[in-house]
Amino acid sequence: MVTERTLELPSRIRSLLGERLGNRRADMWFDSASTVSVEGGKLAVEAESSYAADWIRKNFGGDLRAVSQEALGRDDFELRVKETPSTHIIDAPPRSTANSDPSDNPPLRAPLRTHHRTTEAWRRLEDFVVGPSNKMAFESALNFATTHSIGNCLVIHGSCGVGKTHLLQGLCRRRRESRTQQRVRYVTAEQFTNEYIQSVRNGTIDAFRARVRRVDVLAIDDVHFLAGKTATQNEFLHTLDAVQLAGSQVVLATDEHPHLVRRLSQSLVSRMLAGMVVRVEAPDLSLRNALVKSIALGRSIALSQEAIQAIALRCVGGAREIEGAISSLQALQSTQEQPSEISCAMVDSLLRHEKATAGGIPVRICAIMNLVCLTTGVEVEQLAGQNRHRRVALARALVAWLARQHTSMSFPEIARALGRNSHSSVHASSVKIDSLIKSNESVDAGAAGTCLVVELTSRLSHALRNSPNMNSRNSANNSASNSASNSASNSASNYSGNSQRGGQRNAVRANRR
**Average pLDDT of 464-478?**
51
Strands (E), 50-144: 80-83
Instruction: Specify the range with the lowest mean pLDDT, choosing from 74-83, 174-183, 381-390.
Output: 74-83
Nearest to 373 by CA among 475, 512, 295: 475
The three-state secondary structure class of 489 is helix
CA angle at 408 for the pair 405 and 409, rounded to the nearest 5°: 95
Distances (CA, A) of 10 to 5, 22, 26, 34, 363: 10, 17, 13, 13, 54
Q: Can you say whether the dihedral through the CA atoms of 389, 395, 396, 398 is positive or negative?
A: positive
Give CA–CA dist 509/507, Å, rounded. 5
Burial 325-341 (b: 16+ CB within 10 A, else e): bbebbeebbeeeeeeee
Nearest to 308 by CA among 320, 319, 322, 318: 322
Q: Can you say whether the dihedral through the CA atoms of 385, 386, 387, 393 is positive or negative?
A: positive
Give CA–CA dist 367/460, Å, rounded. 11
Predicted confidence band of residue 481 (pLDDT cuts 50, 70, 90): very low
Q: In terms of pLDDT, which residue wins out, 36 or 322? A: 322
Residues 144/253, Cβ–Cβ less than 8 Å: no
Instruction: Specify the range with the lowest mean pLDDT, choosing from 58-72, 137-151, 369-383, 416-430.
Output: 58-72
Residues 222/253, Cβ–Cβ less than 8 Å: yes
Beta bridge partners, 253, equal 156
- Residue-wise pLDDT for 104-153, tens only, equals 343 333 333 445 556 778 889 999 999 999 999 999 999 988 876 677 89
Specify the pLDDT at position 31. 67
Percent of the chain that is helix, strand, coil (3-state, to 5)? 60, 10, 30
Give CA–CA dist 266/260, Å, rounded. 11
The three-state secondary structure class of 365 is helix
> Residue 435 contacts by C-beta under 8 Å, 6 or more apart in sequence?
none
Give CA–CA dist 172/185, Å, rounded. 8
Beta bridge partners, 45, equal 36, 81
Query: How many Cβ atoms sit within 10 Å of the Cβ of residue 393?
Result: 15
- Domains, the chain, in order of start with CATH, read 4-89+112-116 (3.30.300.180), 122-279 (3.40.50.300), 285-357 (1.10.8.60), 365-501 (1.10.1750.10)
Residue 45 backbone phi and psi in degrees, to 5: -120, 120
Query: Which alpha helices (DSSP H) does 74-187 contain, by range?
Result: 116-121, 135-146, 164-178
Specify the pLDDT at position 394. 92
Residues 433/398, Cβ–Cβ less than 8 Å: yes
Residues 93/105, Cβ–Cβ less than 8 Å: yes
Nearest to 49 by CA among 86, 88, 79, 87: 86
> Residue 415 contacts by C-beta under 8 Å, 6 or more apart in sequence?
421, 422, 423, 425, 426
Residue 95 has pLDDT above 60, yes or no: no
Give CA–CA dist 91/15, Å, rounded. 27
Percent of the chain's residues with pLDDT above 90: 33
- Residue-wise pLDDT for 158-210, tens only, equals 988 899 999 999 999 999 888 888 899 999 999 999 999 999 999 999 999 99
Predicted confidence band of residue 478 (pLDDT cuts 50, 70, 90): very low
Specify the pLDDT at position 69. 76
Q: How far is CA 270 from the centre of its chain?
A: 25
Specify the pLDDT at position 466. 72
Give CA–CA dist 199/49, Å, rounded. 9
Nearest to 84 by CA among 118, 37, 34, 41: 34
DSSP 39: E
Q: Give the gyration radius of the chain's Cα atoms.
A: 29
Specify the pLDDT at position 419. 87
- Residue-wise pLDDT for 43-73, tens only, equals 777 776 666 677 777 778 778 878 877 777 6
State the amino acid at position 408 in one-letter form: S
Residue 32 has pLDDT above 50, yes or no: yes
Residue 345, CB-side half-sphere exposure with 13 Å CA sphere: 3
| Pairing label, strands 276-279, 153-157 | parallel
Residue 97 has pLDDT above 60, yes or no: no
Give CA–CA dist 288/159, Å, rounded. 15
Query: Per mean pLDDT, which of 7-21, 50-64, 318-332, 492-506 is the most reliable?
Result: 318-332
Beta bridge partners, 303, equal 342
Residues 217/211, Cβ–Cβ less than 8 Å: no
The three-state secondary structure class of 444 is strand
Residue 103 has pLDDT above 80, yes or no: no
Specify the pLDDT at position 505. 47
Residue 361 has pLDDT above 50, yes or no: yes
